[in-house]
Amino acid sequence: MSGARPRVVVLDYGSGNVRSAVRMLERVGAQVTLSADPHEVSEAAGLFVPGVGNFHACLAGLAAVDGGRMIDRRLAGGRPVFGVCVGMQAMFDSSSEPSDSPQPGLGQWPGTVDRLAADVVPHMGWSPVDVPTGSSLFAGIAQERFYFVHSYAAQQWTLTPHGSFSTVAPLVTWAEHGAPFVAAVENGPLVGTQFHPEKSGDAGAHLLRNWLDSL
């Protein structure tokens, strides 16, 4: 990466311990601010949306800081947003966590996040991913493993280029725990990973550096 360090805001909305995300982004060359200030969010080169714990609690936290509107405005202007774990799940229409009644998400992507169909839940640990051809997020690391901690995930993908942020079809990376689930999405300015790149060692650092290079 050359030139000035890109400025990234880690959205501060009460989602657990975000210090590891701040440290990893700084490690790979970003100038990082932890904030929910609308001006800082709007002006940053990239917005990083963490997510730890319960979907409903995370959406309540986002609502409390008007996070949905800030994310929507950035994406409408083609400004990059990166959601991680529940921060990625929040981009879907809804989730069945914590009850069977759908909890509304931000609606950037169609679909519902559901409990993993596996004998052992949560899915916790290092897993490989199935990366599509042409991925820039996984350039140089398609064969690596990444660190997952989750009980819910999107298990279908229905978005087509029509109505999305790009005329190019979104690139969807899959993983498996009991059944296939969405491990990552690259959809124009909006990307997300179900795993935690900030906890995925050198592979996660490489992935975040790939994202910073795209800014």
The one catalytic residue in 85, 144, 150, 177 is 85
Average pLDDT value over all residues in the chain: 94
Name the strand (E) or helix (H) holding 153: strand 152-154
- pLDDT confidence tier of residue 168, bands split at 50, 70 and 90: confident
The one catalytic residue in 123, 150, 177, 196 is 196
Please give the residue range of the domain that contains residue 79: 7-214
Cα separation, 93 vs 150, whole angstroms: 18
The one catalytic residue in 97, 144, 186, 198 is 198
State the chain's maximal CA–CA distance in angstroms: 49
Domain annotation covers residue 178:
yes
Clarify whether 198 is annotated catalytic. Answer: yes
Cα separation, 184 vs 131, whole angstroms: 9
Clarify whether 85 is annotated catalytic. Answer: yes
Summarize the confidence of residues 150-154 as an average pLDDT.
97
The secondary structure of residue 113, as a DSSP letter, is: E
Q: What are 194-210's pLDDT values in tens digits?
A: 999 999 999 999 999 99
Q: What are the Cα distances from residue 65, in Å, to 10, 156, 202?
A: 13, 29, 32
Domain count, the chain: 1
pLDDT > 50? residue 1: no
What pTM value is reported for the model? 0.94
Domain annotation covers residue 203:
yes
Tokens matching residue 176: 């498996």
For residue 148, what are the β-bridge partners? 125
200 in helix, strand or coil?
A: coil
Cα separation, 113 vs 44, whole angstroms: 29
Q: What is the residue type of 100?
A: D
Q: What are the Cα distances from residue 137, in Å, to 59, 93, 94, 120, 184?
A: 26, 24, 25, 29, 9
Cα separation, 47 vs 33, whole angstroms: 10
Domain annotation covers residue 1:
no
Clarify whether 196 is annotated catalytic. Answer: yes
Q: What are 101-135's pLDDT values in tens digits?
A: 789 999 999 999 999 999 999 999 999 999 999 99
CATH number of 33's domain: 3.40.50.880
